[in-house]
A and B are shown apart, each in its own frame.
Chain A
């Protein structure tokens, strides 16, 4: 009998489709992918070790630099943990402004994920349209917080500064334009016949294996699991937030789910601006000793901080659990093995929106 030689193909760490360094080793048999594993360790900076023993004023800025793409949610979860430990009262107006900043961050992160996916499957036109749309969202973030990427907008007791009256009037107008454009690109993605060939039925993750392997975020919601930390957040409950769930289970469903979440985030910002309470945007407060485990919904899934502080407000112990570490493992074990072509490995890996900077810290 003729022996079929299995070849091991490495992808990365410097790869045209990946923004960040990661190495994927694929065991193949012809074009079929039998198994694969990741080799991480190109981004390990030791952030949790740096944080220990530092005062919270310093750790606040380091926490934001765990990940540059979703920096607002890292800032938000860290500050909410400090507030819950110390019982600091937060200004009601600031709570709404935090949600607005967080949703703008989610929109740009989801757009970035879809840009990467379109680039990977070779649809550069749609990627450029979306990249231009993302720049307008970055402008909104800059007008609101003062910086494009690392904003440091959220502080204990409130936010750094108030939104101006002019912004209050002009944001809904610009959001309306953004919604029209995003709907147009969403329609372009859903009706493209070549996009469907590269996306539909590829990278299937069943609900059972998503549940067993603890998939989180859009990956879990794309497989029919209703799991969203925003459902337990008091401000999102006031805004009548309902989690979007899709049953498609493939690459196409995940990208479309991200488009739907962008539209939902735009609606959330509009509602939050319409019902914004008055008053001051920052109250004072003194951090106290204690420990807590607190979660928030990052653009990629559940983000958990375990924090232990002492009387002076120094961080004694900290552990961060980011969403990408679970999603990458699910992708390696359940989604990539069994693919019919080696060309789909990169597109399936990009469709889960991996963030290596978060994963390795």
Chain B
């Protein structure tokens, strides 16, 4: 996948595949490819949130560093999904870490230029926001189910 152009990747990535050619061409101008080895960080808590990541291949751990304990993984994100929405929300700082668990390829879209683009083209902004809301909702649903500890001790028999 790393030899594909951003436009080609946007054309096949589930997040953007059904956008128009015109929309994808606009996004491709803001995109570059990033390749991460295992244990490389895509982003770190507290740092400026400057980019939006479309994971193309690989596996990424969303985690929090706990002093005295080390990194605590919370969820993983596979190729085909997206990482990071803090670039949309002031003050645009990452609130978690994202670390590659295996060799990972991501399309990195410049967050500041994306925000500017959405001001210029509100309809495209709405389409991206709607997709992002879907990702957030899925991630929240999964987090709620994890909280239930469904596989914990059942009733006595």
Q: Do A and B actually bind?
A: no
Contact surface of B with A, Cβ cutoff 8 Å: none
